[in-house]
Amino acid sequence: MALKSTICKATLQIADMDRAVYASHALTLALHPSETEERLMVRLLAFALQAPASDDDGALVFARGLADADEPDLWEHSLDGRLRHWIEVGQPEERRLARACGRADRVTLYVYASASPIWWAGVQNKVARLANLAVWQLPAPQSQALAALAARSMQLQVTVQDGQIWVGDATRSVEVHPIALKTASA
């Protein structure tokens, strides 16, 4: 018998002063049986950091990611159906990133875990030509601290100011310092 995903509910308050995005989101996330809580929380952080100021031209939504090879972890389509933003979490193959860059206006990748520097060394030259790709690395201790905030029901605040990111609940807070490995030139 196949294992089922665990459903997590998150109320996310975003105060991103760098992008002038202030919003509250009630989110339902599926924790895939093969997914760690660390990965779940990186997906949630990616949502907070990439959520548009307005859904007037399409909303950022969680896609099937791990469950479907043709979908990212998050994506944003415009109202006319154009794929505006493809957001990936983890350490995908270069071919997957190249396909995503061909399909979407922008592609953002968040890598985490202690092995991410080794992975990046192996793909850095291969993805250098992908102009619309941005790659961010979350230091392993910080992504692991985010995992400690995971619960079936979460009320989280994400504050971004001057490039500094704080994620917290009622009792704990984690400071996150993503490192830009590659910026999009598009």
Task: Say yes or no to pLDDT of 46 above 90.
Answer: yes
Give me the pLDDT at residue 169, please: 96
As a whole number of angstroms, the distance between CA 8 and CA 152 comes to 4
Q: What's the number of CA atoms in the CB half-sphere (13 Å) around residue 50?
A: 29
The pLDDT assigned to 2 comes to: 64
Across 92-120, average pLDDT: 96
**Closest CA relative to residue 12, chosen from 142, 160, 144:** 160
Give the closest residue to 48 by CA, choosing from 71, 30, 25. 25
Q: How much is the pLDDT for 1? A: 55
Average pLDDT of every residue of the chain: 93
149-158: pLDDT as tens digits: 999 999 999 9
User: Is a pLDDT exceeding 70 seen at residue 72?
Assistant: yes
Please spell the DSSP secondary structure of 103-134, one letter per residue: H-SEEEEEE-STTHHHHHHHHHHHHTT-TTEE
User: What are the strands of the beta sheet with 74-77, ordered from one edge?
Assistant: 60-62, 74-77, 83-89, 106-111, 133-137, 179-182
The string of pLDDT tens digits covering residues 167-182 is: 999 999 999 999 999 9
In the chain, the N- to C-terminal Cα span, in Å, equals: 46
Domain spans of the chain, in order of start:
7-182
Rounded to two decimals, the pTM is: 0.93
Mean pLDDT (whole number) for 117-125: 96
DSSP state of 3: P
Given CATH 3.40.50.300, say whether it is the number of domain 7-182: no
CA 23/CA 184 separation, integer angstroms: 25
Helix intervals (H) in 128-179: 140-147
Mean pLDDT of 139-164: 96
Looking at residues 68-77, what average pLDDT do you find? Answer: 88
pLDDT at res. 186: 52
pLDDT of 68 above 80: no
For position 122, what pLDDT does the model report?
Answer: 95
